[in-house]
Amino acid sequence: MDLSSLLLPAAVRVVGQFTSKKRLFQELGEIAQQTYGLQSASAVDGLQERETLGPTGVGHGIALPHARIEDLSRIAGLFIRLEKPLDYDSVDRQPVDLVFALLAPKDSGVDHLKALALVSRTMRDPSVVTKLRSNTDPAKLHAILTESKAPQAA
C-alpha cells in the first residue's frame, strides 16, 4: 500500500481558510463527492462522528481526520493545505494547516489501520511537512505526498 493508491490528484486542494472544523469537514465531504462519488453528507457525518471520540489533530499543525463509511468501495484519501491555520482542538493546542483525511469502507478492517499508519508516518516526516508548507500548487502537493518514502514501522 502506498499513498498514490489512496490519494487521487483531484483530492488535493489549497484553501485560504475555514471558520470552523465543521466547515472543514463539509469541504472534505464535497471533495469526496466530486473525486470519489461518495455522498458528501456520509463523509461529513462519518468524520464528525469519529471526531466526537477525540480530536484527530495530532500536533505540529497536522490533522488526520478519518472515518469508516457505508457504500465506499476503497480507501480514499483527501488532502487540504490551509493558508490560514484553523483552531482544531489538537493535542498540542496548535492550529492546523495540513489536513490529510482518510475515508474507508465500513468493512475495511486492518487495511484502514494500515492506511492510517502510512499517512501518519508520512505526515511525521519533517522534510515532507516542510515541502508541503512551502508549496501552494495542488499538483506539487500531490507529488510530494505520493513520492515520499516514509520510514517503515519496525
Q: Which of 3-12, 114-123, 145-154 is least confident? A: 145-154
Residue 153 above 50 pLDDT? no
* Beta-carbon count within 10 A of 13 CB: 18
d(CA 92, CA 111): 28
Q: Can you give the residue ranges of every domain in the chain?
A: 3-147
Q: What are 128's three cell numbers?
A: 515532507
- 67-126 pLDDT, tens digit each: 999 888 899 999 999 999 999 988 899 999 999 999 999 988 888 889 999 999 999 999
* Beta-carbon count within 10 A of 3 CB: 20
d(CA 27, CA 44): 9
Residue 8 above 90 pLDDT? yes
Active site residue ranges: 66
Inter-residue long-range contacts of 17-21, CB under 8 Å, 24+ positions, other chains counted: 17/82, 17/83, 17/84, 17/86, 18/82, 18/86, 20/86, 21/51, 21/86, 21/88, 21/89
pLDDT at 152: 47
CATH of domain 3-147: 3.40.930.10
CB 102 within 8 A of CB 33: no
CA angle 73, 30, 116 (to 5 degrees): 50
Residue scoring higher pLDDT (149 or 43) = 43
DSSP string for residues in 27-95? HHHHHHHHHH---HHHHHHHHHHHHTTS--EEETTEE--EEEETT--S-EEEEEEEEEEE----TT---
